[in-house]
Chains A and B, each alone.
Chain A
Amino acid sequence: MDSVRSTFINEATELLQELDVALLTLENNPNDTVGVEHVFRVMHTLKGNSKMFDFAMIGDAVHDLETVYEDVRTGQRAISKPLLDLSFQTLDHLKALLDDPDCKDEANKTRHITLLKELHALSAEDSGHQSVSEALSATFHIFFKPSKSFLLDGSNPLYVLEDLAQVGKVLMIPHFSEGDFSVTDCQTYWDILLETSAGLKEIREVFVFAEMNSEINVQELNYSGLIANPSFAKEVLKTRFDDTPLSREQLQVWAEMYGQQTLSKTTTLDKSNTSSKAFSSVRVGSEKLEELMNLVSELITTQASLSLFAEQAQNQELETITEIFEKLSRRLRDVAFGMTLIPINNLFNRFQRMVRDISNDLGKNVNLISLGGETELDKNIIESLSDPLMHIIRNSVDHGIELPEVRAAKGKSEEGRITLKAYYSGVFVYIQIIDDGKGIDLKSVRRKALEKGLIQEGDEHTESEIYDLIFHPGFSTSESVTDLSGRGVGMDVVYRTIQGLRGSISVESTLDVGTTMTIKLPLTLSVIDGLLVAIGGEKYLLPLSVVEKCYEIENSRLINNFNELIVLDGVQYPFINLSGEFGQQLDQAKRSQIILVKNNDSFVALTCDHIIGEYQAVVKPLGKYFQDQDFVSGATILGDGTIALILDSQKMVELYVERHQHVKKLA
């Protein structure tokens, strides 16, 4: 059962998250009846499942929450802030209970009791109808006699009785039919006394499946307090096991003796259920997925060896097979990697709650908007992004967005806005966190950096260089330190985490208008399509995504070129002589290949000895000797067993520019 339990926990976590989102939607749109139905349905599923898997305390808490929302659904209660606050607290508590289902932790236990009390108080408060109907409980006499053939179609009268016991307090008096006993016949019948607040209709509903082939008679006795009365119970139980049903007259006599007379009543409650949307999926353990990825990676490496061998073997048939095999493995790769991609919405949704809670605490009014949530990213990247994004958003709420009064004074709307935006660009995914807060004050960043000795007086810095200082370890400009952010650690961790994902982060800000943080990330971490090139006898791989066009030119155009610009198709481009950079002399008489690569908004030309061709590469990390070599993003094993380094053209250009400026400075 353990694996099912963990499935339940996963599922419950998702349901709780779904509830979080659904409740937040309700908060913004309290009259959304479809939304209420959705909330209700999710709660119902959660309750049912928790009870199935022995998470009774979760079941109880959800039940109470459901009771409150039942009133919302029937229009007897409006969505209010206290209600939502309590709901969110309950959801948080439920999340804790998933780890501690029996409340072994004292804190959880205390909270459980407090929350249940509050929920009860809430449901009692303005839905007095419940206690009224409790007082109106009536006693019914039910005669239930299944036909002899009742058992034959798989029915069991005991299930009916169990269900009946759910409706109210019951007293059951079984009787046996006299005569020959047969295993397949149902020879038992019952007189049942039921004290309940439910109506006749609900009682009849218990018998819906039994009605066809049994004798059922339900009648209300206008007396209450009978079942709880031991003397009454003793009298009626005397008749059990006899083959004589209780007579109505006799019952009436006992009822008069032991019960209190009540007025007849009829209550009906119609509960209808509506289904709402969900998406279909199969859950697979992440370790299985990882194994699949590894196998696919190995397959691709092996396939490269096979292609190489087929080429050398000069065998037509083998070549055809290899070609098909290559196509298939490429498709398999795409499908397999597609599986590890999940929409970033999963991540964005987590922040809704956080922003709500923090802004409430700080007395701010913040609206978090997410755009492009359907953008898909590798699951591992999404997981690693959670903390950095959380930090940035906290910073935005804490330091970026101003208090409502301040915003009003500046002529902005009182409600601050943080936009989370994700979109694709090439093989990269961009994530932007845009706030309309007070922006970053360049002067104060500069002053702080000077104080901390991060920069020297008199140094010249561009705006973006100054912004980048906020990612420096130990940097914090916040005047007051709150417990949310501003502890001076964080932004540097954000920076390192994103770098660790082979991504980058940049800041743009305008005072009093807002700040935009842009995170750029590779789509996937493990396989890329690349262009394999040879430089000085070694092989290198450039991601195909950055390659724009290839040219062939005479080396003479590269040698003795002082401004390092080259004209291709009538356009001037800066170029980097990679052969030279990698310590190779260019042969004046030969020709070089030029690869035009995208670099931010412009293009840069890179030279190489010759282009080998397209290659799908499994990216392997480099060992620690190479870990500081930014311009190499990894390595791949080629079909013949040799290694090719994967070049990060953008980092290479940065490094090149930096070094040449440095040389200039020295000169």
Chain B
Amino acid sequence: MGESTKKILVVDDSESIREAIDMALTGAGYQVHKAIDGLDGVKTLGDKSFDLVITDLNMPNMDGISLVQEIRKNDKNKFLPVLILTTESQNAKRMEARNAGATGWIVKPFVKDQLIGVVKKVLR
């Protein structure tokens, strides 16, 4: 207690994934904000401060990699942890994401506890 609620931004073009993550993380006591693609994510981030960003890779308008690059451009967000959502077949993308400045990744499909486990660690 005493610690303020951590703010997490979830960026995914798939509503069901957004909702599932929202539900899991809200249930775990986090404050979840959602964005529907990279562009929306950048907009939502704006000048607000978040504690963590979780983003999908494959999205219209602005994909996850570009979002990470965009986030890192802002000095304020230099150390903002960014987790990317990948599928097992996207190994190549992970390298790209890391080079862009992502902190880590979560492999889809994941279960609630896995997700919360990773988030907890990153936010510790």
Contacts and interface: CB of A to CB of B under 8 A. Distances in A.
Q: Does B associate with A?
A: yes
Interface string A278-299: 1010010000000000000000
A184 to B, nearest CB: 10
B108 interface: yes
Contacts, number: 111
B108 to A, nearest CB: 5
Contacts of A154: 81, 103-104, 118, 121-124
Interface string B1-40: 0000000000001111101100100000000000011001
Given A41-B58, A202-B91, A275-B63, A51 B15 contact: no
B87 interface: yes
Interface string A222-235: 00000000000000
B50 interface: no
A3 B19 contact: yes
A283 B5 CA distance: 27
A19 to B, nearest CB: 14
A71 to B, nearest CB: 14
Given A1-B23, A7-B19, A49-B14, A275 B105 contact: no
A249 interface: no
Nearest to A12: B16
B60 A276 contact: yes
Contacts of B17: 48-49, 52
A271 interface: yes
Contact of B60 (A44, A49, A162, A278): A278
A7 B60 contact: no
Contacts of B93: 271, 273
A75 B61 CA distance: 26
A187 B109 CA distance: 28
B98 to A, nearest CB: 5
Interface residues on B, range: 35 or more
A153 B81 CA distance: 9
A328 B92 CA distance: 54
Given A4-B20, A208-B95, A271-B89, A51 B59 contact: no
Given A1-B23, A153-B103, A209-B94, A51 B108 contact: yes
A469 to B, nearest CB: 49
Given A205-B95, A278-B60, A283-B15, A52 B103 contact: no
Interface residues of A, number: 41
B103 to A, nearest CB: 7
Interface in A10-54: 11-12, 41, 44-45, 47-49, 51-53
A445 interface: no
Interface string B38-79: 001000000000000000011111110000000000000000
Contacts of A270: 92
A11 B81 contact: no
Contacts of A11: 14-16
A159 interface: yes
A277 B60 contact: yes
B16 A8 contact: yes
Nearest to B84: A209
A11 B12 CA distance: 13
A206 B91 contact: yes
Contacts of B91: 163, 167, 202, 205-206
Nearest to A281: B36
A170 B74 CA distance: 41
B16 A4 contact: yes
A154 B88 CA distance: 20
A261 interface: no
Interface in A179-218: 202, 205-206, 208-209
Interface string B84-124: 00011111111100100011110111100000011001111
A156 B15 contact: no
A52 B108 contact: yes
Contacts of A156: 117-118, 121
Given A53-B16, A154-B81, A154-B121, 13 more contacts: A4-B20, A11-B14, A45-B58, A48-B108, A52-B16, A153-B122, A154-B103, A163-B107, A205-B92, A208-B98, A271-B92, A275-B58, A275-B60
User: What 8 pairs across the A-B complex have the smallest Cβ distances?
Assistant: A154-B122, A205-B91, A8-B16, A51-B109, A154-B121, A278-B60, A166-B88, A4-B19
23 contacts: A4-B20, A7-B15, A7-B19, A12-B16, A45-B58, A48-B14, A49-B16, A51-B109, A154-B104, A156-B118, A159-B118, A163-B88, A202-B91, A205-B94, A206-B91, A208-B98, A209-B104, A209-B105, A270-B92, A271-B93, A273-B57, A275-B58, A276-B60
Interface of A: 1, 3-4, 7-8, 11-12, 41, 44-45, 47-49, 51-53, 151, 153-156, 159, 162-163, 166-167, 202, 205-206, 208-209, 270-273, 275-278, 280, 283
